[in-house]
């Protein structure tokens, strides 16, 4: 089943045609934002091209999604016309031919969208019939492609529609239904398509030559402005690297941020994940990629900066675990030291008590004349004494319950 890419032409810096207070860029994104909910309701498999990408970056993004004509994929870009006429004018990739799938898409949408809305038809035309000879947004993108000029910004009657939000929603709903009907009616489109010519390799020079979009190549007179080239119809397709990342199919209305909104999102996401302010070069890189918040998060997680943060965090975790273990061991040692200090204090108090009592005993022994001053129990001089040397001890005839008498008997002095 064909998949769909939808885009709003122009950017805020290069807004396309401006008439009074109407700007093409604002109108195309308004219609796009109204279109997406209707595509969701119908169950169409689609992606919305990020807003505010300049032309060459928009082409790059489209071709990086992996969509192609061989797979039956479709691409439509919304424009607003000028020139004073009314209704619709559509452009398709390539020259008119029975096997041109882009022509089939543009003609189907022209016929059926006109029927649904009642708006006039200015026809579906080959890009080679355009004044500039070729439209890059069509011939440089890989899918089946059509540019849809919806109403005329300089026609008073069409202006009324463009200023009416309800009318624009009706138009968006009708366009969603036509796209859905075409997809269902052509499930095998593109299956037998031959592979298109290889795109060119160098796009930088084109960026220097081209403005935002093909409408910007013309002034009010309709003639090419100076120094802006008319691209030949045989201009080859650019070669962009395949990178099938991008907004998820369907439900992508919240991803339709303009450049300022996307810049804010990138800065905040980068700061949150990487922990520092993003450089201007990196910011520009992600802006030009048109990344969604989820895409940016995934890319930053895969970046060397984030891996470095993770590595630092692992090192910090290991160091923290070692510090915690050491702290636990230190607390254990402190507990043991405290216990030892308590035991030492207790023993010291016992020793002090013992020494005090020994001192008291010696004083009492000296007072009673049992020992001579300066002699201590257990000394050699004390052991060699006899009862005759201690009249007080010899005079004692009965047991005494006094603690000192008990101690004297212990020392075997009575």
At residue 219, the pLDDT reads 36
C-beta of residue 55 within 8 angstroms of C-beta of residue 111: no
Q: Tell me the per-residue pLDDT of 164-173, one tens digit each, with 9 for 90 and over.
A: 999 999 999 9
Q: How far apart are the first and last CA of the chain?
A: 123
pLDDT of 198 reads 45
pLDDT digits (tens, 9 = 90+) for 305-318: 767 666 656 655 56
Decide if pLDDT at 235 tops 80.
Answer: no
Calpha distance 64→56 (Å, rounded): 12
Residue, of 58 and 254, whose pLDDT is higher: 58
Asked if residue 103 has pLDDT above 50, the reply is: yes
Mean pLDDT over 235-260 rounds to 46
pLDDT in tens, 399-411: 445 666 666 666 5
The confidence score (pLDDT) of residue 353 equals: 84
d(CA 196, CA 310): 45
Calculate ∠ Cα 217-221-222, nearest 5°.
Answer: 45
CA angle 154, 11, 214 (to 5 degrees): 65
385-396 mean pLDDT: 50
- Tell me the range of 216-225, 231-240, 353-362, 372-381 where mean pLDDT is highest: 353-362
Quote the crossing angle between the two packed helices 165-185 and 101-117, to the nearest 10°. Answer: 140
Most confident among 26-35, 47-56, 369-378 (mean pLDDT): 26-35
Mean pLDDT over 126-147 rounds to 91
Torsions phi, psi for 343 (to 5 deg)? -65, -45
pLDDT over 60 at 33, yes or no: yes
Taking residues 139-153, report their average pLDDT: 95
- Give the C-alpha distances (Å, rounded to integers) separating 96 from 126, 128, 223, 226: 6, 9, 24, 30
CATH tag, 4-256: 3.40.630.40
pTM over 0.75: no
**CA atoms in the 13 A half-sphere facing the CB of 4:** 30
Bridge partners of residue 150, in order along the sequence: 88
Share of the chain above pLDDT 70, in %: 69
Q: What is the pLDDT of residue 313?
A: 60
Helix (H) or strand (E) holding 195: none
The DSSP symbol for 53 reads -
- What average pLDDT does the segment 88-97 reach? 95
pLDDT in tens, 317-371: 566 666 777 778 777 777 888 888 888 888 888 888 888 777 777 777 777 777 7
Q: Coil, strand, or helix at residue 193?
A: coil
At 31, is the pLDDT very low, low, confident or very high (cuts 50, 70, 90)? very high
3-state helix, strand, coil in the chain (%, to 5): 50, 10, 40
What is the chain's mean pLDDT, rounded? 76
Q: Is 353 exposed, middle or buried (0-12, 13-18, 19+ CB in 10 A)?
A: exposed
pLDDT band at 387 (very low <50, low <70, confident <90, very high): low
Q: Quote the CA–CA distance of 203 and 136 in Å, as a whole number.
A: 12
Residue 178's pLDDT is 97
In this predicted structure, the answer to whether residue 4 has a pLDDT above a threshold of 90 is yes
The model's pLDDT over 197-227, given as tens digits with 9 standing for 90+, comes to 545 443 443 443 344 444 443 333 333 333 3
CA 374 to chain centre: 91
pLDDT of residue 281: 82
Q: For residue 24, what is the enclosing H or E element?
A: helix 24-42
135 by DSSP, 3-state: which?
coil
324 or 54, which is more confident = 54
Cβ atoms 132, 214 nearer than 8 A: yes
Domain(s) of CATH 3.40.630.40: residues in the chain:
4-256
């Amino acid at each position: 089943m064909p998949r769909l890419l939808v885009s709003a032409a122009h950017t805020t810096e290069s807004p396309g045609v401006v008439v009074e207070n109407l700007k093409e860029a604002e109108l195309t994104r308004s219609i796009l934002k109204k279109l997406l909910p209707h595509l969701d309701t119908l169950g169409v498999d689609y992606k919305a091209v990020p807003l505010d990408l300049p032309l060459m970056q928009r082409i790059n993004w489209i071709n990086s999604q992996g969509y192609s004509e061989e797979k039956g994929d479709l691409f439509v870009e919304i424009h607003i016309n000028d020139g004073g006429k009314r209704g619709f004018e559509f452009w398709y990739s390539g020259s008119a031919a029975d096997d041109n799938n882009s022509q089939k898409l543009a003609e189907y949408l022209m016929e059926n969208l006109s029927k649904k809305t009642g708006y006039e038809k200015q026809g579906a035309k080959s890009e080679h019939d355009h004044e500039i000879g070729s439209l890059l947004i069509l011939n440089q993108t890989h899918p089946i492609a059509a540019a849809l000029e919806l109403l005329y910004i300089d026609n008073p009657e069409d202006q009324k529609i463009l200023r009416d939000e309800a009318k624009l929603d009706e138009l968006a709903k009708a366009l969603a239904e036509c796209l859905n009907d075409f997809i269902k009616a052509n499930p095998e489109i593109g299956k037998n398509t031959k592979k298109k010519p290889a795109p060119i390799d160098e796009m930088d020079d084109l960026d220097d030559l081209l403005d935002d979009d093909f409408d910007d190549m013309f002034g009010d007179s309709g003639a090419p402005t100076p120094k802006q080239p008319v691209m030949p119809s045989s201009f080859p397709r650019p070669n962009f690297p395949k990178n099938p990342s991008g907004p998820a199919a369907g439900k992508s209305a919240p991803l339709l941020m303009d450049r300022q909104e996307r810049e804010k999102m990138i800065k905040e996401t980068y700061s949150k994940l990487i922990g520092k302010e993003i450089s201007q070069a990196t910011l520009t890189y992600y802006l030009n990629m048109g990344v969604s918040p989820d895409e940016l998060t995934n890319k930053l997680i895969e970046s060397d900066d984030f891996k470095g943060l993770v590595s630092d965090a692992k090192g910090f975790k290991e160091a923290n675990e070692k510090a915690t273990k050491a702290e636990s061991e230190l607390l254990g040692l402190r507990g043991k030291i405290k216990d030892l200090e308590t035991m030492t204090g207790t023993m010291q108090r016992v020793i002090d008590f013992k020494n005090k009592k020994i001192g008291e005993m010696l004083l009492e022994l000296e007072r009673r004349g049992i020992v001579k001053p300066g002699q201590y129990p257990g000394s050699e001089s004390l052991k060699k004494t006899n009862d005759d040397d201690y009249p007080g001890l010899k005079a004692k005839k009965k047991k005494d319950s006094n603690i000192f008498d008990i101690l004297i008997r212990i020392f075997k002095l009575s």
